[in-house]
A and B are shown apart, each in its own frame.
Chain A
Amino acid sequence: MGNGTKLLELRHIYQNYTSGARMFTAVQDVNLTVQEGEFVALVGPSGCGKSTLLRILTGLQRPSEGQVLYRGQPLNGVNPYATIVFQTFALFPWLTVFENVELALKARNLPPALRMTRAMDLIDRVGLDGFENAYPRELSGGMRQKVGFARAMAVEPELLCLDEPFSALDVLSAETLRNELLELWTSGKIPTKAILMVSHNIEEAVQLADRIVVMDKDPGRIIADLKIDLPYPRLRHAEDFREKVDQLYALLAGQTRPEIEELGSEPGQFGFTRRLPDVSIPTLAGLLEHLAEKPNYEADIYRLPEELSLDSDTVLALTETAELLGFATIAKGDIRLTPLGETFAEASILARKEIFATRIRRLPLVRWLMNMLQRAEKHSLKWDIVQMALELEFPPDEAEKQLDTLIHWGRYAELFAYDDGSEQIFLEAATEKVA
């Protein structure tokens, strides 16, 4: 728990970037204070800017607006008191375990003898003794991340930043490593003053952190800041643990709103164009079938990741899609199938395609693309042209992703087709006649 000394302070942070004539906001007006003794987790859906925020607060990236203060001083360049444990480990593959850890010390120009003892000590402490001379490629994912932790802690940082450190690991190694981290942290064996962890795994955040900052996307911003004052060790099946997780899912999954708000507007028109979640149709069908087997066609969203063996990010994207297409409604962290969703879950392959087609025809993005194709010569358009039009609404890489999803959904619904060779998108013949 915080002891009242402010370590890090973010004041009115904005991260904007321009693409052509448009400006996009990745992070909007973020204010955040981290105190000594705190373990803060930053959670939110993908694309909410939590990783960007981590880069800003360590000084790797300069915000467009706003101030980063460390111990009251404005930060200029990389924060020398902070280190990062990276999601992809970021180990130098050509250096051994020992050399990787030592490099961080060498950069600070410590004498060789001290480097040796300190590096060996940390390698011991994370349980990698005997592997000093191994190269990262000889190690399992979990062991590699231990090297990542040893390296980050070797320089005795005050602020230890973790960028989704467990998400590239298998379930068991992740759990072991989480417990080991918690032990190091709670026992006070490391000089670290505060930990800040970016995570997309909500259970993990509740298990480790004593404060959870929740972010949402479009634009990236903080929507909630929760204290978690459960005693360690926290048991995942305990009632109070469940409650917290449920509460967080409810925050992130939101509430089903009236249709007009839920759908948003067409690109180029006034209002907000709703992004399509990046979801594959078979997985969505899987979710609906799963819900159809539940009593009352209803489920707690926080239970779904475990039941479906998916990560919480994917589950949230799926529930969002089901909601967007009117297959389900969401309220207070629960999801419930609509009659339409039930029909879909029980329908044959062809019938599913038909239901899906009628549902996505209501989406402004789909309508917009179909209208464009309708008006185009031979009812077909080049990929690049459509993407350029979308770039008026989205940043370029997001526009590409949106178009990818659009085409994937449209192909499934047999509304439009795409030829990769000529890069042409065109209306399906059947659709043309109907239209």
Chain B
Amino acid sequence: MGLLQNVLPPKERLQRLMTWGDVVILLLIATLLYLGVQLAFRSPAEIQGPQISLSPGALPWYTLLSLGRMMAAYALSLTFTLIYGRAAAYNRRAEALLMPLLDVLQSVPILSFLPVVLLSLSAILPQKIAVELASIVLIFTSQVWNMTFGWYQSLTTIPKELREASAIFRLNNWLRFKRLELPFGMIGLLWNSMMSWAGGWFFVMAAEMFTIGERDFRLPGLGAYLREASIEGNLTAIAWGLFALIVTIVLLDQLIWRPLLAWANRFKLEMVESDEPPTSWFYNLVHRSALMNILRQTFGRLSDRLDSWVISRFPAQAEEEKTRRKIDWGMLALYTLLGLGIVYGGARAFHLLVSVSLAEWGEIALGVLATLVRVLVALTLALAWTIPIGVAIGTNRRVAAVLQPVVQVIASIPATAIFPVFLLLVIHLVGGLNVAAVFLMLMGTQWYLLFNIIAGASAIPQDLKYTTALLGLKGWARWRTLILPALFPYLITGAITASGGAWNASIVAEYVEFGKQTLTTTGIGALISRSTAAGNYPLLLAATLTMVVTVVLINRLIWRRLYRIAEDKYRME
């Protein structure tokens, strides 16, 4: 759960506020956006989406379609993670570029890219494929960053003596991957995959239905079903849709993630047996079955063959040789080309930015402020209820046994799925979308906090609790001397993820097309959505870049410092 080290890069990298790498990366993002925008101008002016049926009978099929998109995106993410992480971990020069790149990429508001990706893809590909691809790319970008960070972190923290043992016993790259890197990183990879799936559900709901003016991009799927249902105000259909979604998520959890976690427990690095290993009924069932035994034997023989083929084909080579051949002209040419492309794209993007009027910049500044306030309100609200509840669950085993699974199911429902329903309820109240936007941010972020607080509270050592009791500390004094300091690192970890998520959610939250009407409020997210809908690409570019810079700056100025303090001072060893 609270994998403290997974959220942020290791300490040495926290030093400077902005580096040259960051500048290059911002330029790169601007370039990509610019290219997308150029393509977008060429997309067809009118697009008719498929009809979404609201009959419950269509749901299994829709669910399968959404699931398929998730799996395709996850497969992409996993491949990307394994390759990118390895490149960053084993090549110092690549690391210097790849790690800051990852850091900025994960602050990019993914949703603001959706229209550009959609439009540009539909300009060059048949519409059906373009929409599918766009949604998969979007889900991919919501899943991949934390997995890559986690994998990179695992690779760089493999104990030195295990590395040396692999070298001295001449394990080739394949055996190293299979016997050292993968087992070592497995638990982190699993937890991150689970987080990524949760994030993916959030975006699959948003990515299946998108209208830009006369262009109606829709994909048959659960997300589109729910949206259609809420637009028509069909409460029965909404209930069916939510039911299908929850069943899917719970089934995935019980049949895939829990068994995998139970299985992965063997990869714990600790040299002592743990008290409470994760368990799974499904894993136990499968593990003991005769069929599984046969499969395992066959698979074992096959993998043995594969191993020996790979080993004879690619024997372990002396590390030396690899590091020696350093100057690679091909790569150099590629870098130069890439560099030139970035400079050109950056210049064009800058050109685009110049055309943004002063009034619009003012609007952007105001929007950032308004969204910032909303994010802060959402965070405060989330903290206000998650701290007491989290501590109650974390310190009391009996409460935990009852509440933990309930909380997990509720938390697994993507906020974007309930959002339309919620809108239906609050839209006519005072505050309207303002309240609803904060609510969506809250829905999207509170769980990170809650899970981290539970983890933190359950990690408070028993002897400290006894000492506090013996000293007669009660009420506020107890909170101040024991609970809050112990929670601090976990709170920060949760809050970092939560605030990032809240910014991202602002794009869906602040601008809503609801039936025939469009609701909007002041905010950077609304600005991004509005400029997309109006086809005002200079403004879209300006707003997106501003948001990226704001989020990155907040991360580095505030969260990282707090994280450092948490690491140094409040960490229980």
A and B pair up: yes
Q: Which residues of A contact B (CB under 8 A)?
A: 55, 58-60, 62, 76-78, 80, 82-84, 86-90, 92-95, 103-104, 106-109, 112, 135-138, 151, 155, 420-421
Taking the nearest CB of chain B, how far is it from the CB of A210, in angstroms? 24
* Chain B residues within 8 Å of A420, by CB: 569
Nearest chain B residue, comparing its CB with the CB of A420: B569
* Given A78-B168, A82-B168, A84-B164, 15 extra CB contacts under 8 A: A76-B318, A77-B321, A78-B318, A80-B170, A88-B161, A92-B183, A107-B170, A107-B171, A107-B175, A109-B312, A136-B271, A137-B271, A137-B273, A138-B273, A155-B169
5 closest A-B pairs by CB: A77-B318, A90-B161, A90-B165, A104-B169, A94-B183
Q: How far is the CA of A90 from the CA of B304 in the complex (A)?
A: 24
Mask for B265-308, Cβ within 8 A of A = 1, else 0? 01111111100000000000000000000000000000010011
> How far in angstroms is the closest Cβ of chain B from A70?
13
Known: A76-B318, A84-B168, A108-B170. A103 touches B272 (CB 8 A): no
Q: Which of B159, B169, B267, B317 contacts A103 (CB 8 A)?
A: B169
A136 to B304, CA, bound (A): 23
Q: Which residues of B contact A87 (CB under 8 A)?
A: 161
For the complex, give the distance between the alpha carbons of A90 and B308 in Å. Answer: 24
Contact with A along B127-161 (1 / 0, CB 8 A): 00000000000000000000000000000000101
User: Are the C-beta atoms of B183 and A106 separated by less than 8 Å?
Assistant: no
Say yes or no: A77-B161 contact (C-beta < 8 A), given A82-B168, A109-B308.
Answer: no
Smallest Cβ-Cβ distance to A87: which chain B residue: B161
Asked whether A84 and B320 contact (CB < 8 A) given A93-B268, A106-B175, the answer is no
Asked if B179 lies at the interface with its beta carbon under 8 angstroms from chain A, I say yes
**CA gap between A151 and B169 in the complex, in Å:** 9
- If A92-B180, A103-B169 touch, does A60 touch B273 (CB 8 Å cutoff)? no
Q: A93-B269, A137-B273, A421-B569 are in contact. Are A59 and B183 (CB under 8 A)?
A: no
- Give chain B interface residues in 175-195, CB to chain A under 8 Å: 175, 179-180, 183
**B319 to chain A: which residues have CB within 8 Å?**
77-78
Q: Interface of chain A, helix or strand or loop or mixed?
A: loop
Q: Counting CB contacts under 8 A, is B316 at the interface? A: yes
- If the complex has contacts A94-B183, A137-B272, are A84 and B165 also in contact, measured as CB distance less than 8 A? yes
User: Chain A nearest CB: distance from B265 CB in Å?
Assistant: 10
Instruction: Assess the B316–A107 pair: CB atoms within 8 A.
Output: yes
B167 CB–A CB distance under 8 Å: yes
Contact yes or no, A90 B316, CB < 8 A: no
Instruction: Determine the distance from Cα of A413 to Cα of B308 in the docked complex, in whole angstroms.
Output: 64
B172 in the interface (beta carbon within 8 A)? yes
* B311 in contact (CB, < 8 A): yes
Q: In the bound complex, do residue A90 and residue B162 qualify as a contact, i.e. CB atoms below 8 Å apart?
A: yes
- What residues of A have a CB within 8 angstroms of the CB of B267 in the complex? 93-94
Within 8 A of A (CB), among B357-383: none
Q: Which residues of B contact A103 (CB under 8 A)?
A: 169, 171, 175, 179
A112 engages B168 (CB within 8 Å): no
- By beta carbon, the residue of chain B nearest A108 is B170
Could you name 16 residue pairs across A and B whose Cβ atoms are closer than 8 Å? Answer: A60-B168, A78-B167, A78-B168, A78-B318, A86-B164, A86-B165, A94-B267, A103-B179, A107-B169, A107-B311, A107-B316, A108-B170, A109-B311, A109-B312, A112-B304, A138-B273
Separation in Å of the A370 CB from the closest CB of chain B? 27
Docked Cα-Cα span, A106 to B179, in Å, equals 11
Chain A CB within 10 Å — which of B161, B165, B307, B318 has the most? B165
Cβ-defined contact, A83 with B321, below 8 A: no
Known: A78-B319, A94-B266. A60 touches B169 (CB 8 A): no
**Among B179, B315, B317: residue with most chain A CB under 10 A:** B179
Docked CA distance A269–B380 (Å): 56
The CA of A420 and the CA of B318, in the complex, are separated in Å by 45
The residue among B167, B168, B269 with the most chain A CB atoms within 10 A of its own CB is B168
For the complex, give the distance between the alpha carbons of A421 and B272 in Å: 34
Within the complex, what minimum Cβ distance (angstroms) separates B558 from chain A?
A: 19
Q: Shortest beta-carbon distance, A61 to chain B, in Å? A: 9
- Of B159, B167, B183, most A-chain CB atoms within 10 Å: B167
A108→B307 CA distance, assembly (Å): 11
Assembly CA distance A128 to B427 (angstroms): 72
Residue in A87, A103, A151, A421 whose Cβ sees the most chain B Cβ within 10 Å = A103
Nearest residue in A to B316 (C-beta to C-beta)? A107
Instruction: Find out whether the CB atom of A86 lies under 8 angstroms from the CB atom of B169.
Output: no
Chain A neighbourhood of B175, CB < 8 A? 103, 106-107
Given A58-B168, A109-B308, does the pair A77, B162 have CB atoms closer than 8 Å?
A: no
Across-interface contacts of B268 in A (CB, < 8 A): 93
Q: Which residue of B lies closest to A109 (CB)?
A: B311
Q: Are the CB atoms of A78 and B170 closer together than 8 Å?
A: yes
- Given A58-B168, A60-B168, A95-B179, check contact A77 B320 (CB 8 Å): yes
Partner of A77, one of B179, B266, B308, B317: B317
CA–CA, A77 and B318, complex, Å = 4
Given the known interface contacts A76-B320, A92-B179, A136-B271, the answer about A106 and B168 at a Cβ–Cβ threshold of 8 Å is no
B199 CB to nearest A CB, Å: 28
From B305, which residue of chain A is reached at the shortest CB distance?
A112
Residues of B within 8 A of A421 (CB): 569
Please give, as numbers and ranges, the residues of chain A lying within 8 Å of B168 by CB-CB distance. Answer: 58, 60, 78, 82-84
B298 → chain A closest CB, angstroms: 15
Residue of B nearest to A95 (CB): B179
Which residue in A83, A93, A95, A135 is a CB contact (below 8 Å) of B169?
A: A83
When C-beta atoms are compared, the residue in chain B nearest to A55 turns out to be B164
Distance A124 CA – B119 CA, assembled complex (angstroms): 68
Report the Cα distance A395→B254, complex, angstroms: 52
CA–CA, A112 and B318, complex, Å: 25
- Shortest CB-to-CB span from A112 to chain B, Å, is 6
Q: Which chain A positions have C-beta within 8 A of B315?
A: 109
CA distance A94 to B265 in the complex (A): 9
Given contacts A93-B269, A94-B267, A137-B270, contact A59 B165 (CB under 8 A): no
Give the CA-CA distance A88 to B317 in the complex, in Å.
Answer: 25
